[in-house]
Amino acid sequence: MIPFLFYMAAAIALVSTVLALTRSNAAHALIYLIISLLAVAVVFFLLGAPFAAALEIVIYAGAIMVLFVFVIMMLNLGEEGDQRERGWLEPGVWIVPAILAAALMIETVAVISMTEGMTSGEMVSAKAVGIKLFGPYVLAVEIASMLLLAGLVGAYHVGRRLSERRRGGIS
Amino acid sequence: MSVGATIVFSLVLLLAIVGGAAVLTWFERRLLGIWQDRYGPNRLGPFGILQVLADMLKLLTKHDWVPPFSDKVVFIFAPTAIVVAMMLGFAVVPFSPELYILDINIGLLFFLGMTSLAVYSVLLGGLASNNKYALLGGLRSAAQMVSYEVFMGLSLMGVVMLTGSFSLRDIVEAQRDGWYCIPQALGLYVFIIAGIAESHRLPFDLPEAEHELTAGFHTEYGGMKFTMFMLGEYCGLILLSCMITTLFFGGWLGPVLPPIVWFCLKTFFFICFFILLRAAIPRPRYDQLMSLGWKVMLPLTLINLVATGAIALWMQGA
Amino acid sequence: MSNPESAELLPFIVYFCAVVLLVATMLILSWLLGQRRQNKSTNMPFESGVLSVGSSQIRLSVEFYLIAIFFVIFDLETVFIFAWAIAFFELGWYGFFAILVFILVLTVALIYEWRSGALDWGVKTRTGIGES
């Protein structure tokens, strides 16, 4: 049963990602992307990484995608945005990156098939993650906090400039 | 549990949640009536309880209208998201030592994940409606929900620290020596506030404030799709009460009576408490609500975390 | 404990299917039973009875974008705190001081936001914008 669930989740992830790429309406694309991320969370869970699965839902599906939807609502382009998006979906635009990505994928598959047993199949509990993260990798945690601080300050200043320009434009 | 028992329990639980949410709409109006010195629905059946049935029939026979100017697929998808997310949240709640749907070692994170997914229903509902009020209401609502979501998770970490597990059954078992509502009183306080804001119920129902946004993100919704938003909200209320019971008030633990009865009693108490809040407290202003979250609640949660950590380690060492 | 057992997941799968079925039933039932009516104003956007003017593509204030950014960043920070809380007793004082530094940086971020007025909604009196 577990392999069946795994392949089902993986298939959902693949199909919804392809659909997310090909939609011209940004809101529809985002919904497919959210479904894809949730399917990836299921895959993580079934592979024995429940903490990663939970973070996939809380962070990717629950936070970053919310930011994306926020931005779409703020820009709120409507039909005009769809038109522009359709222009970007012309084969001339995506054919070269697609070929390069396909080459990269063939290479990845080759590398994976050459190495034996990429996943240990062991359960990695949340506690194990915590002990490792605050044991050997504690420096990375502190650096991450600095990075997030920088991101926060940067985002605020970009936002404030936007706000000033917009207010200036109105008055 | 055998396969048959499993299926029966799943269906019974689902019916109990939906039925509970439906009865709650009537019960809430009756209680509000008592507290605010008016009647509430009292005509149909004993104490007016058949009002539930009448409301359901009315909502079922309403025009199932999808606005022609809306984004139709997203418009239908949005209300289903909140119902599914909230109902799935119940899967990790341990109703008694044996009665639960899913006991995973990340139970608490699963609950947080599901509540974070509920934001989409509001956001997408507002976006798809293609109506100015719905758009504004959706954005406001979502900004409120995400702001309070940050420390909703953090406020529960004190409980996790003391237990050393995300599994809700472990958390209940760890409360045999004393409920967490005493050492984690601050966490409980923040969790209740965050929970109300997250499920945008009164007093924090500003996104739906009639006096300025007609009905917020569900302005264009009617009939069953509107009902689904309401169902999601009431399920959220029940889920929140269940979580408070489980995390802070010892879940099914209690003397004499069977565990499931204790669980239901405690949950019922908190549901009444939330209705009392609705009856007693006026709405704050939107900017007050947002600054309350970021300027008071977030620092409080951080203080709670650090203090809990220091005291627990000190007591363990001593 | 190794990978999740299918016996443990079975109740959840059943429950999930039941939830989806319930939602689908609700939608289909209301579509079947619902009345269908067409007035001249049925298909208009609802704005409390006032005729709708202009499109719904309005510019929204940047504060919403800021809140969303702050949310993402603080949510990432909470994840680190989750990882610490679960292994709290195992990590002991060492982990406590590690997270203390982390929370201090977080607090610096919060104080910066607070002082620069990013958390104030609406009119920015400190910078003087919006007073005119």
Domain total in chain B: 1
Q: What is residue B238's predicted lDDT score, i.e. its pLDDT?
A: 92
Out of A157-171, B44-58, B151-165, C57-71, least confident range: A157-171
Quick one: tokens of A63? 């936070």
Distance between B45 CA and the closest CA of chain A, angstroms: 43
- In-domain check, residue B5: no
Between A94 and B215, the more confident residue is A94
Contact C34 B18 (CB under 8 A): no
Q: What is residue C49's predicted lDDT score, i.e. its pLDDT?
A: 67
Question: In this model, does residue B42 exceed pLDDT 50?
Answer: yes
Say whether residue B166 is in contact with chain C using an 8 A CB cutoff: yes
Out of B52-61, B193-202, B284-293, C120-129, least confident range: C120-129
Question: In this model, does residue A88 exceed pLDDT 70?
Answer: yes
Calculate the average pLDDT of chain C: 77
Contact A145 C101 (CB under 8 A): yes
Stretch A68-89: mean pLDDT: 75
- Rg of chain A over all Cα atoms, to the nearest angstrom: 20
Q: What is residue A1's predicted lDDT score, i.e. its pLDDT?
A: 74
Question: In this model, does residue A14 exceed pLDDT 90?
Answer: yes
Q: What is residue C39's predicted lDDT score, i.e. its pLDDT?
A: 75
Q: Which of A57-61, A76-80, B98-102, C63-67 has the highest mean pLDDT?
A: A57-61
| Chain C residues close to A75, C-beta within 8 Å | none
Q: What is residue C1's predicted lDDT score, i.e. its pLDDT?
A: 38
pLDDT-derived band at A61 (thresholds 50, 70, 90) equals: confident
Residue of B190, B227, B290 to mutate when probing chain C, most C C-beta within 10 A: B290
Question: In this model, does residue B150 exceed pLDDT 80?
Answer: yes
Distance between A104 CA and the closest CA of chain C, angstroms: 30
The pLDDT tens digits for C105-117 are 888 888 888 887 7
Q: Residues near B285 by Cβ (< 8 Å), separated by ≥ 6?
A: none
Question: What per-residue string of b and e applies to C50-64 under the rule 16 or more CB within 10 Å gives b?
Answer: eeeeeebeeebebbb
What is the three-state SS of chain B? CCHHHHHHHHHHHHHHHHHHHHHHHHHHHHHHHHHCCCCCCCCCCHHHCCHHHHHHHHHHCCCCCCCCCCCHHHHHHHHHHHHHHHHHHHHHCCCCCCCCCCCCCCHHHHHHHHHHHHHHHHHHHHHHHCCHHHHHHHHHHHHHHHHHHHHHHHHCHHHHHHHCCCCHHHHHHHHHHCCCCCCCHHHHHHHHHHHHHHCCCCCCCHHHCHHHHCCHHHCCCCHHHHHHHHHHHHHHHHHHHHHHHHHHCCCCCCCCCCHHHHHHHHHHHHHHHHHHHHHHCCCCCHHHHHHHHHHHHHHHHHHHHHHHHHHHHHHHHC
Question: Which among A67, A144, A164 is the nearest to C129, CB-wise?
Answer: A164
| Chain A residues close to B6, C-beta within 8 Å | none
Q: What is residue A13's predicted lDDT score, i.e. its pLDDT?
A: 93
- Secondary structure (3-state) at C73: helix
Q: Residues near A166 by Cβ (< 8 Å), separated by ≥ 6?
A: C59, C62
Instruction: Give the closest residue to C112 by CA, choosing from A155, A142, A165.
Output: A155
Say whether residue B138 is in contact with chain C using an 8 A CB cutoff: no
- Secondary structure (3-state) at C33: helix
Vertex C103: Cα angle to A71 and A65 (nearest 5): 20
Residue of A148, A157, A161 to mutate when probing chain C, most C C-beta within 10 A: A148
What is the rounded CA–CA span in Å between residue A126 and residue A129?
5
The pLDDT tens digits for B184-231 are 888 999 999 998 888 877 777 766 666 666 667 777 787 788 888 888
Question: Which among B64, B133, B219 is the nearest to C30, CB-wise?
Answer: B64
The pLDDT tens digits for B20-30 are 998 888 888 88
Residue of A16, A31, A42 to mutate when probing chain B, most B C-beta within 10 A: A31
Question: In this model, does residue C122 exceed pLDDT 70?
Answer: no
What is the rounded CA–CA span in Å between residue B202 and residue B212?
15
Q: What is residue B270's predicted lDDT score, i.e. its pLDDT?
A: 92
- Secondary structure (3-state) at C115: helix
Say whether residue A69 is in contact with chain B using an 8 A CB cutoff: yes
Question: Which among C3, C77, C87 is the nearest to A48, CB-wise?
Answer: C3
Contact C34 B64 (CB under 8 A): yes
Question: Which among C23, C33, C99 is the nearest to B60, CB-wise?
Answer: C33
- In-domain check, residue B149: yes
Residue B246: C-alpha distances to residues A162, B158, B167, C93 (Å): 45, 14, 11, 28
Q: What is residue C2's predicted lDDT score, i.e. its pLDDT?
A: 42
Q: What is residue C132's predicted lDDT score, i.e. its pLDDT?
A: 35
Q: What is the DSSP letter of C9?
A: H
Stretch C41-67: mean pLDDT: 71
Q: What is the DSSP letter of C4?
A: P
Out of A104-113, B116-125, B133-142, C54-63, least confident range: C54-63
Which domain does B287 fall in, by range?
A: 65-317
- pLDDT above 70: percentage of residues in chain C: 71
Question: Which among B147, B214, B224 is the nearest to C47, CB-wise?
Answer: B214
Q: What is residue C125's predicted lDDT score, i.e. its pLDDT?
A: 47
Quick one: tokens of A48? 């024995």
- In-domain check, residue B279: yes
Out of B33-47, B171-185, B271-285, C38-52, least confident range: C38-52
- pLDDT above 90: percentage of residues in chain C: 4
The secondary element (H helix, E strand) that includes residue C29 is helix C6-33
What is the three-state SS of chain A? CHHHHHHHHHHHHHHHHHHHHHCCCHHHHHHHHHHHHHHHHHHHHHCCCHHHHHHHHHHHHHHHHHHHHHHHHHHCCCHHHHHHHHHHCCHHHHHHHHHHHHHHHHHHHHHHHHCCCCCCCCCCCHHHHHHHHCCCCHHHHHHHHHHHHHHHHHHHHHHHHHHHHHHHHHC
Contact C84 A1 (CB under 8 A): no
- pLDDT above 90: percentage of residues in chain A: 18
Q: What is residue A36's predicted lDDT score, i.e. its pLDDT?
A: 94
- φ, ψ for residue B282 (rounded to 5)? -75, 165
Stretch B254-275: mean pLDDT: 89
Question: In this model, does residue C3 exceed pLDDT 70?
Answer: no
Residue A18: C-alpha distances to residues A12, A23, A29, B120 (Å): 10, 9, 9, 21
Distance between A109 CA and the closest CA of chain C, angstroms: 24
What is the rounded CA–CA span in Å between residue C55 and residue B223?
25
- In-domain check, residue B214: yes
Neighbours of chain B (3+ CB pairs under 8 A): A, C
What is the rounded CA–CA span in Å between residue B92 and residue B111?
7
| Chain A residues close to B112, C-beta within 8 Å | 54, 58
Calculate the average pLDDT of chain B: 85
Question: Which among A55, A123, A138 is the nearest to C79, CB-wise?
Answer: A55
pLDDT-derived band at B269 (thresholds 50, 70, 90) equals: very high
- In-domain check, residue B7: no
Question: Judging by beta carbons within 10 Å of its beta carbon (0-12, 13-18, 19+), is residue B145 exposed, middle or buried?
Answer: buried
Sign (positive or negative) of CA dihedral B236, A61, B224, A74: positive
- In-domain check, residue B284: yes
The pLDDT tens digits for A106-123 are 998 888 888 766 566 677
Q: Specify whether the CB–CB gap between B93 and B263 falls below 8 A.
A: no
pLDDT-derived band at B316 (thresholds 50, 70, 90) equals: confident
Separation of CA A58 from chain center: 12
Residue with tokens 């026979």: B61
Between A122 and A137, the more confident residue is A137
Neighbours of chain C (3+ CB pairs under 8 A): A, B
- Secondary structure (3-state) at C71: helix
Distance between C77 CA and the closest CA of chain B, angstroms: 9
- In-domain check, residue B163: yes
Longest dimension (CA), chain B: 69
Contact B62 C35 (CB under 8 A): yes
B244-283 residues touching C, CB cutoff 8 A: none
Neighbours of chain A (3+ CB pairs under 8 A): B, C
Q: Specify whether the CB–CB gap between C24 and B49 falls below 8 A.
A: no
Say whether residue A1 is in contact with chain B using an 8 A CB cutoff: no
Distance between C86 CA and the closest CA of chain A, angstroms: 6
Contact A148 C129 (CB under 8 A): no
Q: Specify whether the CB–CB gap between C66 and A159 falls below 8 A.
A: yes
> How many helices (H) and strands (E) would you count in chain C?
3, 0
Residue of B114, B123, B217, B313 to mutate when probing chain A, most A C-beta within 10 A: B123
What homologous superfamily does CATH list for C62-116?
NADH:ubiquinone/plastoquinone oxidoreductase, chain 3 (1.20.58.1610)
Stretch C21-28: mean pLDDT: 89
The domain locations on chain C are 1-37, 62-116
- In-domain check, residue B21: no
| Chain C residues close to B118, C-beta within 8 Å | none
Say whether residue B130 is in contact with chain C using an 8 A CB cutoff: yes
- At position B61, the amino acid (one-letter code) is T
Question: Which among C79, C95, C130 is the nearest to A59, CB-wise?
Answer: C79
Residue with tokens 């919060």: C110
Residue of C2, C17, C30 to mutate when probing chain B, most B C-beta within 10 A: C30
Contact A50 B153 (CB under 8 A): no
